[in-house]
Amino acid sequence: MKILSMATQAQIFLMTVASGFIIGFVFDCLRVFRRTVKHPNFLTQIEDIVFWVAVSLFMFYVMLTENYGEIRFYAILGAAIGAVIYFETLSRLFLPVSVAIVNFIKKVLQVTFNILLAPFRFLVYLLSFPARFIGKTLEKAQNRTLVGLRRLKKYGRIKYRKVRKEFSVILKKT
């Protein structure tokens, strides 16, 4: 265990406060993503796991480089204070403004995408007329064919009955 001066301890404390502030900001970015991109709950749980693993690695790195790997109470307290300061100050402004900006950008991209697709939609619309005409013509031809086949079937039954009747008459005569 290395003995640290008060100035070094104060510097470490301020570094962990800044780390807590950064963690709060990253969490807000994750919250903006969640509010603007709809996704299932299991992905939210995976995001949480990834976030907390990343936060743990980040804090481990900060503790290792600034505090020689020693975990001290004031360092943990500094990270918590930094996060609380962020959430009580900037987060209240950052979150709604960021969500509004992202939603605005999404709408602009959607309108732009619709404008870019308009010529292709118009082309599909124009090509749908001949396709519908051909489809209706084929449907009419199919219906006529089915009607003709039904008539042939009916005519065939009538002929079959006549032939059977005549055949039975011939058999009776013999």
Q: Is 39 helix (H, G, I), strand (E, B) or coil?
A: coil
List C-alpha distances in Å: 77 to 13, 21, 33, 38, 87.
8, 12, 28, 34, 15
State the pLDDT at residue 45. Answer: 93
State the pLDDT at residue 2. Answer: 66
Q: Given a cut of 90, is residue 33 above it in pLDDT?
A: yes
State the pLDDT at residue 144. Answer: 81
| The amino acid at 9 | Q
